[in-house]
Structure 1
Amino acid sequence: MSLVSLTAQAEDIQLMILNQDSLPVPYAQVRLENGSGLVADIQGRVALPHSFKEQVVTVKAIGYTITQIRLESSPQQRIILKEDPKQLDEVVISATRTSRFIDDIPMPVTIINQEMIRQSGALRLSDVLREQASLQLTGDHGVSVQMQGLSSDYVLILLDGEPLIGRTAGTFDLERIAVANIERIEIIKGPSSSLYGSEAMAGVINIITKDQKGKQIGIQSRYRSFNTLDLGATVDLNGEKTDLSVFLNRYRTDGFDLNPSLPGQTAAAYKAYTLQTKFGYKFSDKLRFTLALRGYQERQQNELASIVNGEVIGLRTTGRQTDFNINPVVSFTPSSDLTITYRNYLTGYETLVKTWDEFDNVSSDPFNQTLNRNEIQTDWQWQKNHLSSIGIGYLSESVDALRYEGLTRFDAFYLFGQHQWTQDRSSLVLGFRWDQHSQYGQRLSPKASYQYNISKNLNYKVSIGGGFKAPDFRQLLLNFNNAAVGYYVFGNQRLQEGVEMLQDRGLISQILIDPSTFGQLEAESSLSLNTGFTWQKERFKVSTNFFYNDINNLIETLPFATLNNRQQAFTYRNVSSVFTTGLELESSYQWRAFNFNLGYMYLEAKDREVLNAVREGQYFRVNTSNYGGLFNRSRHNANLKISYLNNAHDFDISLRGLYRGRFGFADLNGNLILDMDQEYAPGLFSLNASASKTFNDNLRLEIGANNLLNQVIRQDPTNPGRLLYVGISYQLTK
């Protein structure tokens, strides 16, 4: 919606927008029938031309029910807005780091609210994201997510706006996040490096936890297939000046096995515990302090089999991973148009993996990563349609592990700025971020987004931005030997000494690529375009988004030598550029108590260097029509959701169909590209259903099934087959 300030004239209609306590609602937004709009001042006042009498206008403000009224001829009118915390689901924070309505965000945004999370039967974050057509989940070092064809390395995962660390081979395992206390999930598509820096090249997933009001206690439990039990409890003690929320969760599962003929399980049995608390204190109307704490611990065990020189060796493993977050925030609002926020964020991630062979010889692999960030952000509403933000920060990140030599550390200083300009029928967001990094030097990431309201039902959005991803510790400093299998991996800066060590031990049989030609790793960079239309009329809405991502200096893993045991030694280098392009479609329709939602994504993801080589005939019997592009990407993804909500009897039913098209899985002919039908994993259709009933507003029972048709393919280790579950929750509210 576009906003414009008008000067009140004598014949104007004077609106006074108030809450239920007769207090003014500052900067409430008023939409006119012609699609244009106005914004109230700090006293909740707005002036409309007398010619608008008897027309219907829409009034909305953050935290209040959207209200439609027909204007009267009276020169002064009062509009009372009803508070509605659920309406906050329509507010987006991640896209601009300021609160804005989703209709006013000039970039592709998806919001997953509490109702969607509950209907999915989700226990962990992966369960929720799996039902999004615009995302693809993969099983590489845990359950990870792809966005617009870009892998998990390029998707930044935030918890209440702060980054979560602890990636294995670049993958953040989504199973680490419980969902019972999630308020909503914001998915921002396209590079967000202008606000969040490295790892946000593909986009951002911000997990926003619940911020309850009042005093209440709730307990939840859900049991599902594979002896999986999820227990949770929430406690909220909130007063006039003090807020306190506590969330506890215990999760256990026996795991599952898709190949019983081999030792061990596809997904190991494990137990996980989560503790999260939020504390807030309001010193005055101008000064507020909040402190968020989170702790997570997981323990697992499994059995494996390794083959060395043709001999099968049984292995037994145990693992422990722990992470914590500490996030104090001070917010100072000296005036209604100025806010200064200081944030400190300390997070740590630790793992310890122990492996026993059949002779009880044990090896340990400890890993410890920490990140500390200090940041100040200033937001200045210097006119009603101009909001400027500027921030400055410093972060340090360190890793201590046997696989690296000693304690390694990165430091970075950054500066970011953003301006949001809203006019009559359009809005513009301009932003940048400048980083000075101790390893890869300076980096500037710009972004521009624009929205134009063609009519009251149709708007157009376009967003262009640059992103970057710095080489991580693994790619620069890794010194790793898998003793069970017999391969080596060296970071780019450890390559020369690694080659010398292997040669001294007489382990190399052939050098495949001269290590001296690799050079120093450069940061990966991208240029991205997102553009599309949104059409909405009454209860029907359709959104389209075309995207194109161009990535340069892509860092890839490749072998540089063959060893005497026929294994290989690997390293990292900038070797190619890729592009991903496609179309996303989201539509929804509400008919009586039914809601219909349809999502679809078409994707092309290819290596430009390989594509050029194919065109030049460098690959035998490969042409542009049978070159399939990057592995593990589906060209077609779709979902269809039908839900029924009966408010009179407090029950709901949901039926959801999910389709993932075929995807490249293996290189069978040894040419290192996807070009044969046999190299594809088949497509998969999953049918999910759920139903719930609420009694006396406090007790809720639920039952459901995911993957009702029990569709399983061996190439997807994240899919265990049919999952049945039952759940119960009880809310004791004062």
Structure 2
Amino acid sequence: MKSYYIVILAFIWPFLCHGQEGVIFGVVTSGNKTVPFVNVYLKNTLAGTASNENGNFKIDEIKPGSYNFMATAIGYLPYKQPLEIKPGQEIYIAIELIPSPEALDEMVVTGTLKGVQRSESPVPVEVYSPTFLKKNPTASIFEALQNVNGVRPQINCNVCNTGDIHINGLEGPYTLVLIDGMPIVSGLGTVYGLSGIPNSLIQQIEIVKGPASSLYGSEAVGGLINIITKSALEAPDFFADAFATGWGEYNLDVGAKIKLSPKTDMLLGINYFNYDQLIDNNGDNFTDLTLQDRISVFQKWNLKRKDNRILSLAGRFFYEDRWGGELQWTPEYRGGNEIYGESIYTRRWEILGKYQLPVKEQLLLSFSYNDHSQNSVYGDVPYLADQRIGFGQLTWDKKHGIHDLLFGAALRYNYYNDNTTATLTSDEVVIPSLFVQDEIQFAKKHALLLGLRYDFDKRHGSIVTPRSAYRFKITDEDILRINAGTGFRVVNLFTEEHAALTGARDVVVTEALKPEKSFNVNLNYLKKIFADNGTYATIDGSLFYTHFSNAILPDYDTNPNQIIYDNLNGKSISKGLSLNIDIAFPSGFKLLLGATLQDVSQTENGVSQRQILTESYTGTWNLGYTFKNIGLSIDYTGNLYGPMRLPVLGETDPRSDYSPIWSIQNIQFTYSALDNFEFYGGIKNLLDWTPNRGNPFIIARSNDPFDKEVTFDANGKPLATPNNPNGLTFDPSYVYGPNQGIRGFLGIRYRIN
């Protein structure tokens, strides 16, 4: 009989135990919407599932015990909650995911030319998503970068308002800008090509600070910015984003995903911007903001192939008509010396693509080509330029044991011609390159990257650029990186130094310029913090040091009527530290703070001085809070810049030698409770700050832009006269910030997924 009961008990025991197991169920939301396909699991166990299309989930058959419950999804901060499961207990959890403007583990490609999780990359890469861009809506990528720590859009001309991007205090020519990894935006394109890329088609922006010439060649001396566009899988079926400002600026982004066949998808994006208001708040009879009318059309084709091999092709056409100058200027004065104006007609087109070869090995062919035509006048000085850049690259991605190898061969074609006396004949060169990279995973927590590139330029001979990177993953939440590398840059002044084209100063090149070279060391530490209450934070700090030889820097000081270029007979050094803190609270409050301290100087003949137009410190912030019950978000963004040395016209110039501490601050309100719609509005430049504060004028001799009333001595130096008591000439190059004051803005977004 006893044996009989034992058999019965053995039979029903699993069912009795099952009844003692726990269950977790619930729903995943973000804001006022459910989130499908979220991974929910108990850490360090096999228990887990994914939320369904309605955001609901259920995990059953959980043994009693203590667990860490996790929920993760791309684009959101991880959710973590400690749980104590009792026998037979059923627990309901309402998970509220917080969108992350800087999600930690995005896939990045810029640092190594391979897709890896950001936390696994031996090269520190900063990533900025469309969520970040929306917190301060702008009409161009150039303006959008103003709230990125260590990155500053520099306006180079008071009249035409063109500019470039500074990274860690280094001038714009040291920054390489890529689109989908291809060097589309360079030379003339750096000045004008950063406008007209529809923000709605951007997947993310990746930024590497420090030389990257071992992978990307010339121009990647100080750092690079890679604008990655969306694929057809990630893009909405239709989107539109339009906004207007109180100054009369109008911007429209419109796009669609079009399925042409079962194997072919096409993305179409159109950006249109218009500003045609004559505003002169500083009273110098010159436009405070350049009038602009531009259109950009972008297409990207994705074709499905066997074995998911890559085939994509993209193209963009850009046209812009911009002018600034005296308020009474009209097109009939273009190129004359009666009324001063700077008028620029720009037309450029670009193509880029990727093709994975149909072989067993991972062979990828990438290519790009752009044609830039510019018809400009700066007062009575014409500047007519054509630039064509072709680029082809073949890479072989090969893994062997602990080695992750990348071999590459590249060919770059540069053509440039203009009407200036400095370019007597067209500049045409083909630069072949070879490079190799080996990422060695010699231990679970340790990775070492070694790279070497060889370029041959017939003007300068062989150029070799090595680099190395080491990553130590102390824990899953602590990562230490050390990077060292070299960079080089072959210079064409007239595609990059806009101040040389204003007609206000003569350009003097004292010698045949040699390529610039740089050496950089960067120490980076990343800390992730997951609090039990759901708070998530990252702390990202870096120490950087860059040494330049053969640096080419403009000399504004020796002669106020000249810009003198030569190779620095000495050294140029950029050093400093930067810190980013990103915190997201379960309440919906988000905080992103950044600060950079830097010292950028040149030493020649034993004398050191700070680099012109370079701040000693900068700060950025982004504070956001979401009222989840009403679908309203508030974002307060801003930046702060320390003093920088400015290009004055000698000792008699009454303008300040140094800029003051200045700040641009913005606030935005976004309402997103309606399906498919977002309404946003706010105020830009809350402090109404402009560079004319504390200065008698910004543009020198704005009343005499052609120097008709200036008297010169035998050496060409201006003399003090009753109507020119300071002995100045016309000069619009004294510029370090935007002339736009406070203004409101309103916008609407519509999206169909």
> Taking structure 1 as the reference length, what is the TM-score of the superposition?
0.76
Deviation readout 1:664-710 (Å, 9 max, x if unpaired): 114576599xxx99521101123211121124431111112221121
Equivalent residue for 1:713?
A: 691
TM-superposed deviation, 1:123: 1.9
**What residue identity is the alignment partner of 1:365?**
Y
Give distance in 2, aligned partners of 1:94 and 1:343.
14
TM-superposed deviation, 1:232: 1.7
Give distance in 2, aligned partners of 1:465 and 1:710.
42
Deviation readout 1:488-519 (Å, 9 max, x if unpaired): 4355xxxxxxxxxxxxxxxxxxxxxxx6xx4x
> 1:176-325 maps to which residues of 2 (within 5 A)?
177-213=197-233, 216-238=237-259, 240-254=262-276, 260-304=282-326, 313-325=338-350
Residues 482 and 524 in structure 2, CA contact (< 8 A), matched pair in contact too: yes
Tell me whether 1:684 sits opposite 2:662 in the alignment: yes
Q: Which of 129, 137, 143 is the equivalent residue of 2:163?
A: 143
Tell me whether 1:371 sits opposite 2:352 in the alignment: no
Deviation readout 1:174-222 (Å, 9 max, x if unpaired): 4454423222111111100011011111111011122242771222211
**What residue identity is the alignment partner of 2:437?**
Q
Give distance in 1, aligned partners of 2:190 and 2:256.
35
Q: Which of 417, 433, 437 is the equivalent residue of 2:457?
A: 437
Give distance in 1, aligned partners of 2:270 and 2:337.
43
Give distance in 2, aligned partners of 1:318 and 1:452.
53
Equivalent residue for 1:580?
A: 574
Secondary structure of 1:194 counterpart: helix
Tell me whether 1:350 sits opposite 2:378 in the alignment: no
Secondary structure of 2:219 counterpart: coil
Residues 557 and 570 in structure 1, CA contact (< 8 A), matched pair in contact too: yes
Secondary structure of 1:180 counterpart: helix
TM-superposed deviation, 1:167: 3.5
Q: Which of 402, 406, 420 is the equivalent residue of 2:419?
A: 402
> 1:224-623 maps to which residues of 2 (within 5 A)?
224-238=245-259, 240-254=262-276, 260-304=282-326, 313-332=338-357, 334-335=359-360, 338-354=361-377, 364-383=382-401, 385-403=402-420, 404-422=423-441, 423-472=443-492, 474=494, 488-489=506-507, 518=511, 520-538=512-530, 539-558=536-555, 567-568=561-562, 570-592=564-586, 593-609=588-604, 612-613=606-607
Deviation readout 1:111-138 (Å, 9 max, x if unpaired): 1111110111222112221011211222
Secondary structure of 2:310 counterpart: strand
Tell me whether 1:725 sits opposite 2:736 in the alignment: no
Residues 522 and 574 in structure 1, CA contact (< 8 A), matched pair in contact too: no
Secondary structure of 2:607 counterpart: helix
Moved more, 692-701 or 318-327: 692-701
**What residue identity is the alignment partner of 2:537?**
F
Give distance in 1, aligned partners of 2:489 and 2:148.
25
Moved more, 91-100 or 650-659: 650-659
Give distance in 2, aligned partners of 1:466 and 1:376.
22
Q: Percent identity of the aligned residues? A: 19
Residues 166 and 349 in structure 1, CA contact (< 8 A), matched pair in contact too: no
Moved more, 446-455 or 237-246: 237-246
Moved more, 170-179 or 236-245: 170-179
**What residue identity is the alignment partner of 1:471?**
V
Give distance in 2, aligned partners of 1:152 and 1:582.
18
Equivalent residue for 1:655?
A: 636
Give distance in 2, aligned partners of 1:713 and 1:594.
33
Tell me whether 1:641 sits opposite 2:658 in the alignment: no
Residues 414 and 436 in structure 1, CA contact (< 8 A), matched pair in contact too: yes
RMSD over aligned Cα atoms: 3.9
**What residue identity is the alignment partner of 1:98?**
K
* Alpha-carbon spacing, 1:326–1:175, altered in 2? closer, same or farther (3 Å): closer
* Alpha-carbon spacing, 1:342–1:189, altered in 2? closer, same or farther (3 Å): same
TM-superposed deviation, 1:102: 1.1
Give distance in 2, aligned partners of 1:488 and 1:373.
34
Residues 521 and 574 in structure 1, CA contact (< 8 A), matched pair in contact too: no
TM-superposed deviation, 1:70: 11
TM-superposed deviation, 1:56: 6.3
TM-superposed deviation, 1:545: 0.2
**What residue identity is the alignment partner of 2:527?**
W
Give distance in 2, aligned partners of 1:731 and 1:129.
24
Q: Which of 162, 166, 184 is the equivalent residue of 2:182?
A: 162
Give distance in 2, aligned partners of 1:356 and 1:128.
30
Give distance in 2, aligned partners of 1:569 and 1:541.
44
Deviation readout 1:360-410 (Å, 9 max, x if unpaired): xxx743211001112111111334x53211110111111122122233201
* Alpha-carbon spacing, 1:200–1:31, altered in 2? closer, same or farther (3 Å): farther
TM-superposed deviation, 1:458: 2.0
* Alpha-carbon spacing, 1:526–1:442, altered in 2? closer, same or farther (3 Å): same
Give distance in 2, aligned partners of 1:321 and 1:451.
44
Secondary structure of 1:198 counterpart: coil
Secondary structure of 1:95 counterpart: coil
> 5+ residue gaps in structure 1?
1-27, 34-52, 73-81, 358-362, 492-514, 615-626
Moved more, 426-435 or 692-701: 692-701
Residues 155 and 200 in structure 1, CA contact (< 8 A), matched pair in contact too: yes
Give distance in 2, aligned partners of 1:477 and 1:585.
30
> Taking structure 2 as the reference length, what is the TM-score of the superposition?
0.74
Residues 184 and 369 in structure 2, CA contact (< 8 A), matched pair in contact too: no
Deviation readout 1:24-56 (Å, 9 max, x if unpaired): xxxx9x9998xxxxxxxxxxxxxxxxxxx9986
* Alpha-carbon spacing, 1:133–1:344, altered in 2? closer, same or farther (3 Å): closer
Equivalent residue for 2:714?
A: none
* Alpha-carbon spacing, 1:409–1:304, altered in 2? closer, same or farther (3 Å): farther
Give distance in 2, aligned partners of 1:262 and 1:548.
41
TM-superposed deviation, 1:304: 4.5
Deviation readout 1:90-122 (Å, 9 max, x if unpaired): 111111111111111223321111111011122
Secondary structure of 2:672 counterpart: strand
Give distance in 2, aligned partners of 1:476 and 1:135.
18
Secondary structure of 2:306 counterpart: coil
Equivalent residue for 2:698?
A: none
**What residue identity is the alignment partner of 2:126?**
T
Give distance in 2, aligned partners of 1:284 and 1:251.
41
* Alpha-carbon spacing, 1:356–1:226, altered in 2? closer, same or farther (3 Å): same
Give distance in 2, aligned partners of 1:679 and 1:473.
25
